[in-house]
């Protein structure tokens, strides 16, 4: 099915603008990564350590009254989220370097005392110490690095080494851009967000491989065309497929974003941003980088040949 018909768009002609935009966005992502490693970003309790408690009351409660009760138990910096008609509460207390053991019990006890006429049940409770948080942070970074190394190996085996490097650069680009946007929005970086980033890396890679596969076919089928014509033709030939895949995936993720509840809201937002950025990078970043690399190789080969002729 073709959603845009046959196109003849000069994507490579727009590569300078795309490279400039991508460089700016990647720089923001690099800054966000540095801040995460330094512990200066908005890290969730998975990485920073702390306590989370989810409770469900029989009747709706006033958020201000809950806040006062938790502050009275010695945790004035707690973060509260209220949903499902005001009956369900998600309470987070980030670690301040002190032991977190017993925090959940103290919060529950204070809530039972403050809302004795409105019983509640504890749906989930989680306590993560600062040491475990740092270990999870390092494990998440290793997971991303190892997955990207696997991408290079796979693409280099399937195509050629420079395609593998470019695909990895494009995937890094997507992860960093989404991470940068999340950092600018002040969103919390949690294990769920890391999971979403790894998922979008896989999606972005699949999209890039489809374009690379068509470029490889056209290298053999359109030998008389220039390199720019071959790559432009390849992107245009798979453009309908790229748009259709992205739109259908976006519809599914958008439904998750609207109906998945608060817990999955940031996860689905990460995937929404990732699909848009991944589609953009497969068209405007990955293939133009292959073009630039090959043209640079050709120019160097011509330069060496001229230098050899001048010596004779």
pLDDT category of residue 97 using cuts at 50, 70 and 90? low
Closest CA to 56 of 80, 35, 84, 34: 84
Phi (first) and psi of residue 82, to 5 degrees? -120, 130
Q: In the prediction, which pLDDT does 12 show?
A: 92
Taking the CA of residue 247 as centre, how many other CA atoms within 13 Å lie in the half-sphere pointing to its CB? 10
Return the residue matching tokens 């929404």: 272
Give the pLDDT confidence of 284-305 residue by residue, as tens digits: 999 999 999 888 887 877 777 7
Rounded CA gap, 102 and 108, in Å? 10
Q: 134: exposed, middle or buried (C-beta count within 10 Å: 0-12, 13-18, 19+)? A: middle
* pTM of the shown model: 0.80
Q: In the prediction, which pLDDT does 60 show?
A: 87
| Helix, coil or strand: residue 74 | coil
Give the pLDDT confidence of 220-274 residue by residue, as tens digits: 887 788 889 999 999 999 998 888 989 999 999 999 898 877 778 889 999 999 9
- Residue 170, both tokens: 């494009």
pLDDT category of residue 106 using cuts at 50, 70 and 90? confident
Q: In the prediction, which pLDDT does 69 show?
A: 84
Residue 146 has pLDDT above 70, yes or no: yes
Q: In the prediction, which pLDDT does 45 show?
A: 78
Give the pLDDT confidence of 30-79 residue by residue, as tens digits: 999 898 888 788 888 777 778 888 888 888 888 888 888 888 877 777 78
Rounded CA gap, 303 and 295, in Å? 12
Furthest C-alpha separation in the chain? 99
CA distances from 197 to 129, 142, 155, 190, 273 (A): 24, 13, 19, 11, 10
Q: In the prediction, which pLDDT does 98 show?
A: 64
Q: In the prediction, which pLDDT does 28 show?
A: 95
Q: In the prediction, which pLDDT does 51 show?
A: 84
Taking the CA of residue 125 as centre, how many other CA atoms within 13 Å lie in the half-sphere pointing to its CB? 13
Return the residue matching tokens 């207390």: 93
């Amino acid at each position: 099915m073709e959603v845009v018909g046959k196109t003849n768009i000069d994507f490579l002609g727009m590569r300078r603008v795309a490279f400039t935009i991508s460089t700016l966005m990647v720089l923001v992502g690099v800054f966000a990564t540095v801040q995460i490693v330094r512990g200066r970003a908005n890290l969730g309790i998975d990485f920073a350590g702390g306590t989370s408690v989810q409770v469900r009351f029989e009747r709706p409660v006033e958020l201000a009254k809950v806040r006062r009760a938790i502050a009275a138990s010695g945790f004035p910096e707690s973060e509260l989220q209220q949903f499902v008609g005001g009956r369900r509460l998600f309470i987070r207390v980030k670690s301040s370097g002190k032991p977190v053991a017993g925090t959940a019990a103290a919060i529950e006890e204070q809530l039972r005392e403050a809302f004795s006429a409105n019983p509640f049940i504890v749906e989930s409770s989680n306590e993560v110490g600062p040491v475990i948080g740092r270990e999870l942070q390092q494990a998440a970074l290793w997971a991303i690095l190892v997955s990207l190394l696997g991408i290079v190996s796979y693409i280099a085996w399937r195509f050629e080494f420079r395609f593998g490097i470019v695909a990895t650069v494009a995937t890094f680009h997507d992860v960093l851009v989404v991470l940068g946007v999340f950092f600018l929005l002040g969103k919390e970086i949690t294990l769920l967000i890391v999971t979403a980033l790894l998922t979008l890396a896989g999606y972005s890679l699949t999209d890039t491989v489809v374009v690379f596969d068509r470029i490889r076919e056209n290298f053999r089928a359109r030998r008389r065309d220039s390199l720019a014509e071959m790559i432009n033709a390849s992107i245009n030939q798979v453009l309908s497929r790229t748009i259709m895949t992205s739109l259908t995936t976006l519809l599914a993720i958008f439904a998750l974003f609207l109906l998945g509840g608060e817990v999955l809201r940031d996860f689905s937002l990460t995937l929404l941003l990732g699909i848009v950025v991944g589609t953009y990078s497969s068209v405007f970043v990955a293939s133009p980088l292959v073009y630039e690399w090959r043209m640079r190789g050709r120019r160097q080969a011509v330069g060496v040949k001229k230098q050899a002729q001048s010596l004779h």
